[in-house]
Amino acid sequence: MMIGETGSGSIPQLEKRAADSGDRRRVLIAEDQDDVLAALGLLLKGNGYEVSFVKSPREAVEALSQKPFDAVLLDLNYSRDTTSGNEGLALLSQVQALDNTVATVVMTAWATIELAVNAMSHGACGFVQKPWDNAQLLEVLSQQIKRSRELREKRLREQMEQLEAVQVQRALFPGPIAAGDGLSIVASTQAARAVGGDYYDVIRMSQHRSAICIADVMGKGMGAALLMSNLQAAVHTLASEVPEPRDLCNRVNQVISANSVSGKFISFFYCVLDLKERRISYSNAGHYWPILARSDGQCRRLATEDVVLGALRQWNYHQQEEELRSGDRLVLFTDGITECADDQGVEFGEDKLLGLISENVSLSADQLKNLILQSAHSHSSGVPCDDATLIVAAVD
């Protein structure tokens, strides 16, 4: 039986602070002087703004945490610090941490070039000196709210695209399927971010024959997810029609080359395990060399020295064969396994992976998979460097 464990990075939340679809514009005013609050309130309310007032940095942070605003108009100086602007600069950093799309316009009576530059570096998008010119203040607010809404709409589109890419990618990975008599296959994949570039599949071809493939798409996001979708569709369509791995790679490469954009390639390994004939036939399109470990701990690397899919449309792929023996363990992986590094930058490495497999070849497929994952996780203190996919097949 095959056990699939598919994990991914967190799905981004849709932009909770996206602007309203109507014309209502919400402004938070942070200012500790009552007369200034009254004047600004009259000005903004008279020009169609919905206004909320706070008189301290703490109250400003609380208000921003409770509901979204289109703009924040804040004073840089408060009762504890009436000239330097340090309280306001600290508040700017907090505003950015809460919502880096909100239009933030700062005001101060102690305007200097240095203070203005500091305010901009802390996230302000506009700077107004007291006493202000009403027309200028309204123009600055209008322009910055427009910019903020455009930014939020862009962010929302990106998040929607990423969510769609996650859904497409999740649909590509197989669920539990039968791998054929005398064969056990387990797999795990973990994306470093919401959308990864790894792909694997297991296809039951007959009672005694199963195909396994693993791939790593260059790039992330929707483009990579769509390319993976093309790859899966091609493999599933051709697997039953094209029995030899080299012929399948030739055909898949033509499909990927026709659908791929410039600079987008796929490393790909495809093999057919025939338990009746006791052999594995394989082609390797530029992927990390899988490891075939014998029951005595001797290991073979499965490579055919071919180019990645999508690089050369007319490339003729090669094929190799190995005998399958009782007790063999086949391990396929992507770079997230071997290239995970410790805090000194030392990678887990293929040599360590080879040694781990050789010394534990008697373990079941599931036990060996868990041992490899735990070892890599411990080596990197749980910090992923890239998407990590691992497949372990055990021949009875």
User: DSSP of 17-84, one letter per residue?
Assistant: TPPPSSS-EEEEEE-S-HHHHHHHHHHHHTTTEEEEEESSHHHHHHHHHHS--SEEEEES-BTTBSSS
Across the chain, the runs of DSSP E, i.e. the strands, are 2-7, 25-30, 49-54, 71-75, 103-108, 126-129, 183-190, 198-204, 209-217, 266-274, 279-285, 291-293, 299-301, 320-323, 329-333, 388-395
Q: Tell me the three state secondary structure of residue 304.
A: coil
pLDDT recorded at residue 1: 39
At 155, list the tokens. 């962010």
pTM score, whole prediction: 0.66
Strand order in the sheet with 299-301: 2-7, 183-190, 388-395, 329-333, 291-293, 299-301
pLDDT recorded at residue 111: 55
Where residue 279 falls (left for φ over 0; alpha for ψ -120 to 50; beta otherwise) is: beta
How far does the chain reach from its first CA to its final CA, in angstroms? 12
For domain 25-158, give the CATH number.
3.40.50.2300
- Contact yes or no for 391/332 (Cβ under 8 A): yes
CA 76 to chain centre: 38
At 173, list the tokens. 């990975």
pLDDT recorded at residue 154: 85
- Contact yes or no for 248/239 (Cβ under 8 A): yes
Q: Give the Cα separation of 45 and 51 in Å (integer).
A: 7
pLDDT recorded at residue 96: 80
Q: Tell me the three state secondary structure of residue 194.
A: coil
Tens-digit pLDDT profile for residues 212-226: 999 998 866 666 777
Q: What is the mean pLDDT of each run of 10 residues along the chain (396 residues)?
A: 40 41 76 89 92 90 88 77 63 81 79 58 70 89 87 81 67 64 89 73 91 87 74 91 96 87 85 96 98 97 95 95 97 94 93 97 97 95 85 95
Q: Write out the residue limits of the CATH 3.60.40.10 domain(s) in the chain.
A: 173-395
- Contact yes or no for 278/323 (Cβ under 8 A): yes
pLDDT recorded at residue 202: 93
pLDDT recorded at residue 222: 65
The DSSP secondary-structure symbol of 376 reads H
**CATH number of this structure's domain 173-395, picked from the four choices 3.60.40.10, 3.20.20.450, 3.10.25.10, 3.30.420.40:** 3.60.40.10
pLDDT recorded at residue 171: 65
Residue type at position 161: E
- Contact yes or no for 302/290 (Cβ under 8 A): yes
Q: Tell me the three state secondary structure of residue 390.
A: strand
According to DSSP, the β-strands at 266-274 and 279-285 are antiparallel
Q: Give the Cα separation of 18 and 20 in Å (integer).
A: 7
Q: Write out the residue limits of the CATH 3.40.50.2300 domain(s) in the chain.
A: 25-158
At 6, list the tokens. 């598919």
Residue type at position 310: G
- Contact yes or no for 24/71 (Cβ under 8 A): no
